[in-house]
Amino acid sequence: MTDPLGWGRRYLMCPPSYFRVAYQINPWMVEEVVADAGRAREQWDNLVATLRAAGATVEVQPPEEDWPDLVFTANAGIVNGNQFVPARFRHPERQGETAHDVAWFADAGFGVSELPIGVCQEGAGDALPVGNALVAAYRFRSDAASHAYLSHLTGAAVRSIELVDERFYHLDLTLCPLDSRRAIIAPLGWDRYGCAVMKALIPEPLVLEPDEAMRFCANSVVVGSTVVMPACPPRVGRQLEAWGFDVAVCDVSEFLKAGGGCRCLTLALDVTLGS
């Protein structure tokens, strides 16, 4: 018996007004690469329209000139009901985003609970709900030590997964929960303990081949029975359709230059952990 996800109908997004590849903090970023501002805006607008068409509400956070990666709202923090746990970014290039994120969430009526200083955790990019658990990743951007604090702050049952492949530097490049039993997964990004833990959590996984994972297939957004994907190879599409999902492909190629896909551009605001 599968139930649809209990979350994913309300998202926070930030327009790419100042988006550019200004530095290199993951293997996908190459400073010489220039993102086309016009195309980026078109792709972002198209993603917003697709999500809305699928039935989602999209709230918009104002962009900030000094923080080009603010566009990747998935990393702003972790939402748990009316609680917001802001990220603690590993790289100084992104640390300035937090003040703007906290301001937005406070304005929107969220209670803000902070992780201790000195512990890195990059928001929903490294922590996604799977069933009753919060699957949280560590090594490249988030610290394993943050997981106990996350559990203290949110009451969530955390499952810690170690990421082992730097190309998949955030959890949301390797995991996309689809419903109560299924998820798109890229286990090549996890260590063997992480694989064993995920196997127990996800009875019916759609396991990505390496080339599919490299096309950011796991960095997708699920709205009810619609999966909004940066790319959808035929094998993946057939499986999703067989499970009853509609696939909408959104070209986000300008954002892929910075190592982010559809999921990275969104932050679900309707998550309540443990429910």
Partner 1 sequence: MASEVVEIEGHIIDSLILAKVMDLILAAGADYRVLEVEIGKTNVDMSRARLEVSTPDADALQSLLDELQVHGANRVVTADAELVAADTDGVLPVGFYSTTNLPTSVRIGGRWVEVRQPEMDCGLVYEGLIYDGEGRLTSVPMHRIRIGDLVVVGTEGVKVSPPSRPRGAHPFEFMNSDVSSEKPKALLVRRVAERIRRAKASGAKVLAVCGPAVIHTGAGPSVAALVREGWVDVLFAGNGFATHDLESNVMGTSLGVSVHEGTAAEGGHSNHLRVINEIRRYGSIGAAVDAGYIDGGVMYECVRRGVPFVLGGSVRDDGPLPDVYTDVVEAADAMRYLVPGVGVALMLASTLHAIATGNLLPAGVETFCVDINPAVATKLADRGSHQALGIVTDVGLFTSGLVEQLITPT
Which is catalytic among the residues 232, 250, 262, 264? 264
Q: Tell me the closest approach of the beta carbon of residue 124 to partner 1, in angstroms.
A: 18
* CA 16-211-267 angle, 5° bins: 30
Contacting residue, 71, 85, 120, 161, with partner 1 by CB under 8 A: 161
CB 127 within 8 A of CB 144: no
SS3 193: helix
| Helix, strand, coil share of the chain (percent; to 5) | 35, 25, 45
78 binds partner 1 (CB under 8 A): no
35 binds partner 1 (CB under 8 A): no
* Part in contact with partner 1 (CB under 8 A); list of ranges 25-33, 34-42, 151-159, 255-263: 151-159
- Could you tell me the end-to-end alpha-carbon distance of the chain, in angstroms, rounded to an integer? 17
Based on the residue annotation, tell me whether 262 is a catalytic residue of this protein.
Answer: no
6 binds partner 1 (CB under 8 A): no
Between the CA of residue 114 and those of 95, 171, 221, what are the distances in Å? Answer: 14, 21, 26
Contacting residue, 196, 204, 235, 275, with partner 1 by CB under 8 A: 196
Residue 83 structure tokens: 């609680």
Site size with partner 1, rule: CB under 8 A: 25
How far apart are alpha carbons 106 and 102 in whole angstroms? 6
Which is catalytic among the residues 14, 147, 170, 262? 170
Task: Mark 101-140 with x for binding to partner 1 (rule: CB under 8 A) and - for no binding.
Answer: -------------------------------xx----xx-
Nearer Cβ to partner 1, position 71 or 198? 198
* Part in contact with partner 1 (CB under 8 A); list of ranges 10-18, 109-117, 190-198, 252-260: 190-198
Based on the residue annotation, tell me whether 264 is a catalytic residue of this protein.
Answer: yes
* CA 195-163-101 angle, 5° bins: 125
Q: Tell me the closest approach of the beta carbon of residue 123 to partner 1, in angstroms.
A: 18
Nearer Cβ to partner 1, position 44 or 190? 190
How far apart are alpha carbons 176 and 236 in whole angstroms? 13
Dmax of the chain from CA atoms? 49
Contacting residue, 160, 180, 220, 226, with partner 1 by CB under 8 A: 160
> Quick one: which of 139, 114, 122 has its CA closest to 73?
122
CB 225 within 8 A of CB 4: yes
- Beta-carbon neighbour count of residue 201 at 10 Å? 19
Can you tell me which residue has the tokens 């994907």? 229
Burial class of residue 34 (count of CB atoms within 10 Å of its CB; 0-12, 13-18, 19+): exposed
Q: Tell me the closest approach of the beta carbon of residue 195 to partner 1, in angstroms.
A: 10
Tell me the Cα Rg of the chain.
17
143 binds partner 1 (CB under 8 A): yes
Contacting residue, 55, 62, 111, 155, with partner 1 by CB under 8 A: 155
Q: Tell me the closest approach of the beta carbon of residue 80 to partner 1, in angstroms.
A: 14
162 binds partner 1 (CB under 8 A): yes
- Using CB under 8 A as the criterion, which residues of the chain lie in contact with partner 1 when the complex forms? 132-133, 138-139, 143-145, 147-148, 151-152, 155-162, 191, 193-194, 196-197, 274
Question: Hey, which residues are catalytic here?
Answer: 170, 264
